[in-house]
Amino acid sequence: MDFTVLTIFPEMFDAFWAHGIIRRALNQGQVTASTVNIRDYAEGRHKMTDDRPYGGGCGMVMKPEPLAAAIEAVRSNSPQALTVLLTPQGRPFDQGLAEELSRENSLIFVCGRYEGVDDRICDNHVDLEISIGDYVLTGGEVAAMAVIDAVTRLLPGVLGNEDSAWQDSFSRDLLEHGHYTRPPEFNGEKVPEVLLSGNHSAIAKWRLEYSLVKTLLKRSDLLKERPLEQSELDILHKWQKEIESIIRSKS
C-alpha cells in the first residue's frame, strides 16, 4: 500500500510515520508513505494557499490552483491511485470503508484546512470524500491519520497475530470482550476465573457473552442492525430470563 498525504502541515506526519505499527509496516515494506506540502505548488511571493470566500462570510477557503497542481503532480506518478478528500461532508468512515480502502494499491489523502476547499476541487479532482464523524476538526490531517491507521492494520502481514484484526470490535459488528493481564488481582479486583482455567471453549463462550452484553449496554444500535446466531440468541434469552425474574421478585 502506498499512502501520499497532501497537506500544508507535513511536519504533523513526521511523528505519525515514526511510531508503532505504522513504523513497523514502513520498515517491513508493506507500506510506503510520503507527504507533499501543498504550499510548494502555490504561486507568487507569498505562496498563498487560501483566500476569502466569494459571496462573503467568515473564514477562508483553500484556493483551487495549488491543490489541483499538487493532486495532478502526485497522480501522474500513480495514475491508478484513489484520491480521498477529508471533509466533514464526506461519507462516514467505518470499519467497512477501512476494509474497502485496504484493498486499494495506492491512496492519496487531501487534507483541507480553513473553512473548506474550493468546491471545484471536490467536484473534479477527488474520487471519494470521507468524514470521521459528526463534529468539526480544524483540518483533515488528524482525520487522514485515523483513516491511514485503520487501513494499515488491515493490510496482510502487518499485525503479528493474524487473528487479531478480525476478532476486534466492529469486524463482527460487536464490541470486543474485556481484556486482562497480570497481576491476577489488582486493587482488590480479580481477573474472571474462567480466563485462568485453560478451558478454551469456556473462555470462547465467556468472551461471546461479554461481547454481546457489552454491545447491548453500550451500543444497542449495533445489535438492532445485525442478524443474530442461535448461540447468541440463547445468551440474550438467558439474560432476559434473569432480568425478568428480578423484576417479578420485586413487583
The active-site residue out of 24, 88, 129, 149 is 88
Contact 148, 34 (CB under 8 A): no
| Binding-site member from 110, 126, 137, 175 for ligand 6GU (CB under 6 A) | 137
| Binding-site member from 20, 59, 96, 133 for ligand 6GU (CB under 6 A) | 133
Q: Show Cβ contacts of residue 48 under 8 Å, excluding neighbours closer than 6 positions.
A: 42, 63
24 assigned to active site: no
Bond preceding residue 66 cis, omega within 30 of 0: no
Binding part of the chain for ligand 6GU, among 54-62, 139-147, 205-213, 237-245 by CB under 6 A, reads 139-147
Contact 204, 232 (CB under 8 A): no
Question: Is the Cα torsion angle 71, 74, 80, 83 positive or negative in sign?
Answer: negative
**Smaller CB distance to ligand 6GU: residue 49 or 131?**
131
153 assigned to active site: yes
In angstroms, give the least distance from the CB of 93 to ligand 6GU.
Answer: 8
Contact string (CB under 6 A) for ligand 6GU, positions 50-89, x = contact:
------------------------------------xxx-
Binding part of the chain for ligand 6GU, among 99-107, 130-138, 165-173, 201-209 by CB under 6 A, reads 130-138
In angstroms, give the least distance from the CB of 146 to ligand 6GU.
Answer: 8
Q: What is the C-alpha to C-alpha distance for residues 213 and 242, in angstroms, rounded to an integer?
A: 13
Contact 57, 97 (CB under 8 A): no
Contact between 132 and ligand 6GU per CB under 6 A: yes
Contact 128, 73 (CB under 8 A): no
168 assigned to active site: yes
| Binding-site member from 62, 140, 151, 158 for ligand 6GU (CB under 6 A) | 140
The active-site residue out of 50, 66, 141, 153 is 153
In angstroms, give the least distance from the CB of 153 to ligand 6GU.
Answer: 19
72 assigned to active site: no
Centre a 10 Å sphere on the Cβ of residue 235 and count the other Cβ atoms it contains.
20
Helix (H) or strand (E) holding 61: strand 61-62
**Sheet of 128-131, strand order:** 32-37, 2-7, 106-111, 82-92, 128-131
Grid coordinates representing 225? 442492525
Contact between 38 and ligand 6GU per CB under 6 A: no
CA-to-CA dists, residue 31 to 13, 61, 64, 89, 165, angstroms:
15, 32, 29, 28, 17
Residues that bind ligand 6GU (CB under 6 A): 86-88, 90, 130-133, 135-137, 139-140, 143
Active-site positions read: 88, 115, 153, 168
